[in-house]
Structure 1
Amino acid sequence: MRYYLSLALGLTAFNTAFAQTDYDVAKIPESLKKDAVVVIRNEESFFDVKGLGAAKMDYKVAMTILNKAGDQYGEMAEVYDKFSSIYNIKATLYDATGKKIKDYKSSDIKDQSLISDFSIFEDNRLKLLKFVSLNYPYTIEYSYSQDYNGLLSFPSWHDLKGFGVSVEKSAYTIQKAKNYKMRYLTSRNLQTDSVLNGEKIQYKWKSTNVAALADEPLSTGIDNIAAWVKASPNQFEYDGSAGNFDNWKNFGSWLYTLNLGGNKLPETTRLMVQNLIKDAKTPKEKIKILYNHLQQNTRYVSVQLGIGGFRPILAEKVAQVNYGDCKALSNYMKALLNEAGIASNLIVIGNDMPSLNPDYSSMGQANHMILCVPLEKDTTFLECTSQYKPMGFIGYSNSDRNVLMVTENGGKIVHTPVYNAKENYQIRKTKIILAEDGTADSEIRSTYANAQFEENFPMTLMEPVELRKRIIEDSPIPVAALSSYKYLQADKTVPVLTEEINFKTNPILTKGGDKLFLVVNQINRRESVPLKVENRKTYFAVPFSYNDDDEINYILPKGYNVEFIPKDITITSEFGSYSAKFSVKDNMIVYNRTQTMNNKKYPPEKYGEYVDFYKKIYQADKQKAVLAKTL
C-alpha cells in the first residue's frame, strides 16, 4: 500500500481552488468514521489534454489519518520520469482540530530514484514526503502539478482507495479539445457530466459521503461497489513513437511495429540453435530443447527506460548479455524458435490481473509478456522469465484470462489455458504408527501438480536449515523429531513435485480411562471457519480451483482395537465438494478425505452459504475414533 494513493489514481490532478480548508475532525460525520482508518476529506483531480503527446494535471488531496493503522496513507509519493515533471508542490500538516501544525519546505521533500526490487534499469523517479505526527487523528494536505511530454494513457480514478478508507468528497475532471478522440469506462450508475468550455469539453465525475468498507476475506476487489473511471486516448505520441489504441487490433499493430527488426540473432547463436536441435524430430522436441536452453542461460532483469518499457531489447543484445526483462526474454525465445523454423507470437498479459476487456483497449490492463507457440494440433504458452517452470506451464496467475496476441496483422484477443481443480491436485498418502503413549511415527508422501506445484516449489530452493525449520513449523502434526525429508521434481518437463517427510510426533492420542481418542484427520484439517461478514459488499473467490486427495493409514497400538469409528460424510455445494470415508482393516484405520474447490467468482450474498459450507467441513474434520484395550 506504500504508493497506493498516487499509483492507483495514476497521478491525477486538478486546476481549481481547493474549497475545503476546515479540517476539524469533529465535523466528520460518524458514518464516515465507522470501520475507517483514513477519511478522504477532499480530493480534486484535473487532467488537461493539450494534444496527442502533451497533458497537464493538477492534483490536491486532504486526508485525515484516524489511527496508527492509517499511517500507511500518511505520505506523498508521486512518480515521474524523463517524460514528465512534477512541480509546485505544497504540503501541510494539521492537528485534530484542524489547526495548522507545519508547512513543509522543498528541502523536506525527497527526490529519489524509484528502482523496483526487480529492476536495475529504470528511469522512474519519486517525489517523497512522509508526514509525521505523534498524535491521532491528524490531517495531511498536499498538492502538485505535473506536465507530460508523451501520453500513452490517462489517469484512472477510484473514490475508494481500499478497505478502511471513507470519502467525504472526491472529484475527477478530464478536459480535452472538441476534436480530440478518447474513450472512457465508468462504474455502474456513476453520472458523467459533460460541459462545453469554449473549444474544449470537460468530463466530470464526483463522489460524496462514501462510508468505509471493513476488510472482507477472499475479496476479489472493490470495483463492484466503488465509483471509478478508466480513460484512454485513441491516437497517441510517446518517445518518438505514435500509434492508436482505439481497438486491440491497432494496439497490437503498434507493439508489432515497435519490434520490427528485433529478432535478429548473432551468427554464433544461429549456429548454436542448429546444433542444439539437429537430432530433434518434432517441433515439440525443438521447443523443449530451446526453452531449456533459455532457462539455463538467461536471467530476468527488468528494464523500464522510456519506450524500452514497451519495446523488447533486441534479441541480438540478449544473446550477448544473457539477461532481459519479460519482453526481451520472450522476444529472444521467439528469435530462437524462428531460427528453428517455428513461428510464435508475443503475448501481452495481465499477470495476477483481471482479463483484458475485449471491448475496451488501453494501456494499464497488462503488466507482463509471455510467448505463444501455435502448433498444428495444440498451442504452447511459454513463461520466459522463470528458470524453473516446465515448458507449457505458465502459472495460475497467468491462466484463464483474455490476453493480447501480437501478430503481423495486429492484435488478437486469445485466452490462456485453464487449470481446473482436477489438474491442480494434491495426492497424499500417510502412514502413522501409533504408540500407546500417544506418540507416533509418521511417513508422509505427497504429490503436487500445476497450481499446487507452484505453491510448493519454493521449498526446493530453500537452504537446508531454513527448509527444516519451515517443515517443522508448518507441520499439522506436532513434530518431536524430524527424521528425513525430500522434495523432488522427477521430470523437469511437467509441473509435478513430490514431497517425502518422516518424523516422530508428539502425542496425538488423548487418554480417557482405558480408552484412547484419535482425531482421524491429522494431516489436511480445516482448523477454522471463515469469518462471517454481515451485509457483505464485495465479490469473493478462492485463489484457484483445486482437488485434495488424502489417505491416512493408522497402525493401532499393540493391545488396542477400534471401539468406535465415525460414519462416512459427504458434503456438496456450488463452491465445491467434500467427502470423508472411515474403515477398519485388521489392526488399521483407513481414512480417505477428498476436497474439491471451484474458484468461480461469487456475489456477496453467497458468502453466508460459503461460510456454512466450510463450517460443515470444519466439523467433519474433527471426527474422532475411539480405541479400547483388548481383554
Structure 2
Amino acid sequence: MKITFFSLAFLLFFAIDGNAQKGLDPTADEISQAKKLRESYSKDDIAILESSELITFDLNKKAAKVIVNHSIKEHLMNINHRADIQKYEFYDSESSIQNFSLKYRNDKTASFSVKDEFYKDRDLFYNDAKVKYVTIDFPVQGYNYKYEMEKKYDDVKYFTSLFFNDEYPVLSKKITFEIPNWLDVELKEFNFDGFKINKTSNTEDKKTIVTYTLENVPAAFKENSMPGRSYLYPHILVIAKSFTKDGATTTLFKSNADLYNWYKSLIAMMKDDTTVMKSKVNELTANAKTDEEKIKNIYYWVQDNIRYIAFEDGIAGFKPDESNNVFEKRYGDCKGMANLIKQMLKLAGFDARLTWIGTKHIAYDYSTPSLAVDNHMICTLMYKGKKIFLDGTEKYNSFGEYAERIQNKEAMIEDGDKCIIEKIPTTTADFNKETFKTTLAIENETLIGVCNKTYQGESRAEFLNIYNGFENTKRKERLDGYLSKQNKSIAVSDVKTSDLQNRDSKLTIDYNIAIQNKISSFDDEIYVDLEFMNEYKNFELKDRKVAYEMGYKTNYVSQINLKIPDGYNVTKMPTNLSIKENDFDINLSYENTGKEIIYKKSFMFKNGLIKADAIEKWNEFNKKLKENYNQQITLSK
C-alpha cells in the first residue's frame, strides 16, 4: 500500500548541476580502486564503499506512539568513466526528513540543488508521498561523495523493513538498532541463508544494541517480471510488539489479532451511506432468477463500471473509502472497490465482508503481524457454507475464479471482533488452457485454412483485457492484427467470436487465414515452412539471474493440420522436440497420416514461472526451439 524504497524503477529525469568543486580530483589509489571495482561490477556505474544505518526509538507519550529515527551515511564512488545519478528518499504524512545532504570527500557541502516535491506516478491517481532528491554529477572515475540522510517516523508501525541490497553494489554494509529497554521489538530475519551476515548484540545503558554487517553486497537486480524483492534479498522486518511506560504496557502488534484490531479501527471510522446505491442494486437483482445471478450481476457491474485508481494518502493508504463515494465518483482503489462490493451485496441480502490480503509479490503471511504483510483488499462472500472471494480490480475474472496473484495467499477476513485467516484456492495450468487449431491446404503457394482459438480461466481474462483495450472504432482492425500477430504475410478474415460479454464460459474465436511466403516450389518438390505462430521463439532469458515470473500458470496447446496435395508424398519432416523440467514441459511433434501432416505443440508452465536454477536449461531449449522452427517439410511429386 505504501510506496517502498525500490518502487521508483525509473526516477525522474532532471537537469544536472555539473559544478563539481575543483581540487577534489580522485587520488591515484582511488582511481585504481575504482578500476578494480569496475571489473567486479561491470554493469554498475557507482559503488557504495561504506553504508551504515542507525535506527533509534523515542516515545511520544501524549500520542502513545513509538517514534523511529533512521539515519543513513554512505560513501559513494564513481567506478565508470563518468556517471550521473539521483539519490532520493521518500516520505509522507507519517514521516519527515530532517537531514538530506551531500558532501565532497573533504566534508565540504557539495554544490548540488536538493529538490523536494510530491511524487508522481502514472499508476497512482493521488498519494501523499513526497520525494527529496539530488542529481549528482561524478565527473571522473574514482570521484567520491558522502551522502547523509536522517528520517523520522511518527509511528513505528509504518517502519516495516530494512534491506541489505541497494541500487548499487555495497562493499561494506552495517545496520545498527538501538532498542531501549521499554520497547519490545522483534527483528525478524528473512533470506539470510547463503549470505555471511554477522550479527552482534550487547546491552548497555538501558538499551540493547543489535548490529548486522555484510560485505560485498551486490546491487539489486534490475529485471522485468521478477518475484517481489521480499523473496530475493536478505532483509529485516521490524515488528514493534509493545512498550512499557510508568509501569503500564501498551500493546502494538504482537499477533495478527492486533493487526486486525487496528484495521478494524479504521473500518469503524467509515460512514457508508448505502441509500445512493439502493436503486442500482434493485435494478441489478430485479430480474435475476437465482441468488448466484444476483451476486454475479453486482460483482460484474463493479468490475465493468468502477475504474481502478490507486490512491494513497496517509491513513487512507490502509482505510477504505466509503462505498457511496466510490459509487458516485465511479472510481476507487482496491479498498474502495472491495467496500462497494460488500455494501451492494449486503443491500441485496448477502453476507459480504472486507478482506485483507498480500499478493504473491509479498513473501510474508499473517504469522507476521506487520503492515508489510498485505498490499491489497478484496471482498469475501459467505455463501452456502463456502467462502467466495471477489476482487473488483480484476476486470474480467469470472465469479469463483481467482487471479494468480492472490492464489494460495492467506487472506484476513473480517468477522466481528475476530478475524478468519484462510488461503485462497489455487488452480492448475489446465484451468487457464488456451488452444489453437487450424486445418490448412496449399493453394498457389499460399496456405489457406480455417482457425479456431479458445481461451479459459486467466487466458480468457487476459484476452478480454487486450480486446477491450482496443479503440472502439478500430476494434475489428485491431483484432485482425492481434490474430495475425501483426505479420503482413498473414491475412485474417471472417472473424467470429463467442459472446465477449460473457466471462463465465469458454471464449472462442473462429476465422479464416491466408499465409504467404511459407511455400516454395522447385521442379517436382514443394518446400513448406509450417511454423507461422512462433510461440516463445524470442523468449530468451539472456544474462538473467533471477526467476522469471509469468502472469499465470500456462497451458498452451496448438495443432496444425496440413493437407498433403494429391500426387505428392512427404519425403522430409522436421524433427520432434521435447523437454520436461519442474518449471516447464514442452513438446513439438510431427505425424504423417498419408493424407495430412499433423503438427502439435504444447507449452506447459505449470508453476507460472521459470526459476533461476532452470534459466540455463530454458535458454538451451530455446535455442533448439528456434532451430526446429526453421526446419521445413519437403513434399515430392
Give TM-score, length-normalised by structure 2: 0.81
Which is worse superposed, 482-491 or 285-294?
A: 482-491
The CA distance in 2 between the partners of 1:430 and 1:410, in whole Å, is: 55
The CA distance in 2 between the partners of 1:218 and 1:359, in whole Å, is: 27
Instruction: Tell me if the contact between 2:34 and 2:77 (Cα under 8 Å) persists in the aligned partners.
Output: no
The CA distance in 2 between the partners of 1:440 and 1:270, in whole Å, is: 57
Of 523, 528, 531, the residue aligned with 1:518 is 528
The CA distance in 2 between the partners of 1:228 and 1:82, in whole Å, is: 25
In structure 2, give the amino acid aligned to 1:185.
K
The CA distance in 1 between the partners of 2:523 and 2:109, in whole Å, is: 71
Query: CA offsets per residue over residues 381-403 of structure 1, 9 Å max, x none?
Result: 21113444333344222223223
Query: CA offsets per residue over residues 288-307 of structure 1, 9 Å max, x none?
Result: 12113323443223332221
Of 340, 344, 351, the residue aligned with 2:352 is 344
How far the C-alpha of 1:339 sits from its partner, in A, is 1.7
Counterpart residue number, 2:588: 580
Counterpart residue number, 1:564: 572
Of 10, 27, 40, the residue aligned with 1:34 is 40
Instruction: Tell me if the contact between 2:584 and 2:610 (Cα under 8 Å) persists in the aligned partners.
Output: no
Instruction: Tell me if the contact between 2:160 and 2:372 (Cα under 8 Å) persists in the aligned partners.
Output: no
Alignment of 1:359-508 (within 5 A): 359-376=367-384, 378-437=386-445, 439-441=446-448, 443-460=450-467, 461-463=469-471, 468=477, 472=481, 475=484, 478-480=487-489, 482-484=491-493, 490-494=500-504, 496-500=506-510, 502-508=512-518
Query: CA offsets per residue over residues 396-430 of structure 1, 9 Å max, x none?
Result: 22223223323324344322232311011111112
Secondary structure of the residue that 1:132 maps to in structure 2? strand
Counterpart residue number, 1:78: 89
Secondary structure of the residue that 1:427 maps to in structure 2? strand
How far the C-alpha of 1:57 sits from its partner, in A, is 1.8
Counterpart residue number, 1:17: none
Matched, 1:113 2:124: no
Of 199, 207, 217, the residue aligned with 1:210 is 217
The CA distance in 2 between the partners of 1:61 and 1:466, in whole Å, is: 53
Secondary structure of the residue that 1:389 maps to in structure 2? coil
In structure 1, give the amino acid aligned to 2:99.
N
Counterpart residue number, 1:13: none
The CA distance in 2 between the partners of 1:55 and 1:129, in whole Å, is: 24
Counterpart residue number, 2:246: none
How far the C-alpha of 1:507 sits from its partner, in A, is 0.8
How far the C-alpha of 1:352 sits from its partner, in A, is 4.6
How far the C-alpha of 1:371 sits from its partner, in A, is 1.3
Counterpart residue number, 1:184: 187
How far the C-alpha of 1:174 sits from its partner, in A, is 2.0
Instruction: Tell me if the contact between 2:55 and 2:71 (Cα under 8 Å) persists in the aligned partners.
Output: yes
TM-aligned CA distance change 1:443 to 1:223, over 3 Å: same
How far the C-alpha of 1:312 sits from its partner, in A, is 1.0
How far the C-alpha of 1:344 sits from its partner, in A, is 2.1
Counterpart residue number, 2:62: none
How far the C-alpha of 1:227 sits from its partner, in A, is 3.4
How far the C-alpha of 1:249 sits from its partner, in A, is 2.4
TM-aligned CA distance change 1:225 to 1:285, over 3 Å: closer
The CA distance in 1 between the partners of 2:292 and 2:498, in whole Å, is: 24
Query: CA offsets per residue over residues 135-157 of structure 1, 9 Å max, x none?
Result: 55655542222222233232522
State the identity %: 20
How far the C-alpha of 1:233 sits from its partner, in A, is 1.7
Matched, 1:553 2:571: no
- List runs of 5+ in structure 2 lacking aligned partners: 10-25, 60-64, 244-249
TM-aligned CA distance change 1:431 to 1:85, over 3 Å: same
Of 24, 28, 37, the residue aligned with 2:30 is 24
TM-aligned CA distance change 1:477 to 1:267, over 3 Å: closer
Alignment length, in residue pairs?
599
The CA distance in 2 between the partners of 1:212 and 1:302, in whole Å, is: 29
Instruction: Tell me if the contact between 1:61 and 1:142 (Cα under 8 Å) persists in the aligned partners.
Output: yes
The CA distance in 2 between the partners of 1:601 and 1:556, in whole Å, is: 39
Secondary structure of the residue that 1:583 maps to in structure 2? strand
How far the C-alpha of 1:469 sits from its partner, in A, is 6.9
TM-aligned CA distance change 1:68 to 1:84, over 3 Å: farther
Give TM-score, length-normalised by structure 1: 0.82
Matched, 1:312 2:320: yes
Counterpart residue number, 1:228: 235
How far the C-alpha of 1:320 sits from its partner, in A, is 3.5
Instruction: Tell me if the contact between 1:326 and 1:384 (Cα under 8 Å) persists in the aligned partners.
Output: yes
Query: CA offsets per residue over residues 298-341 of structure 1, 9 Å max, x none?
Result: 32233322211111112233344333221111012111111222
The CA distance in 2 between the partners of 1:295 and 1:191, in whole Å, is: 50
Secondary structure of the residue that 2:198 maps to in structure 1? coil
In structure 2, give the amino acid aligned to 1:159.
F
The CA distance in 1 between the partners of 2:573 and 2:180, in whole Å, is: 77
Matched, 1:509 2:514: no
Alignment of 1:226-305 (within 5 A): 226-235=233-242, 244-260=252-268, 262=270, 264-305=272-313
The CA distance in 1 between the partners of 2:541 and 2:154, in whole Å, is: 49
The CA distance in 2 between the partners of 1:104 and 1:497, in whole Å, is: 61
In structure 1, give the amino acid aligned to 2:588.
A
Counterpart residue number, 1:170: 173
Counterpart residue number, 2:149: 144
The CA distance in 2 between the partners of 1:115 and 1:215, in whole Å, is: 21
Instruction: Tell me if the contact between 1:190 and 1:227 (Cα under 8 Å) persists in the aligned partners.
Output: no
Counterpart residue number, 1:12: none
How far the C-alpha of 1:198 sits from its partner, in A, is 0.9
In structure 1, give the amino acid aligned to 2:176.
T
In structure 2, give the amino acid aligned to 1:480.
S
How far the C-alpha of 1:279 sits from its partner, in A, is 4.2
Matched, 1:53 2:66: yes
In structure 2, give the amino acid aligned to 1:408.
G
Matched, 1:592 2:596: no
Secondary structure of the residue that 2:464 maps to in structure 1? helix
- List runs of 5+ in structure 1 lacking aligned partners: 10-20, 237-241
How far the C-alpha of 1:559 sits from its partner, in A, is 5.6
Secondary structure of the residue that 1:53 maps to in structure 2? strand
Which is worse superposed, 113-122 or 60-69?
A: 60-69
Instruction: Tell me if the contact between 1:131 and 1:140 (Cα under 8 Å) persists in the aligned partners.
Output: no
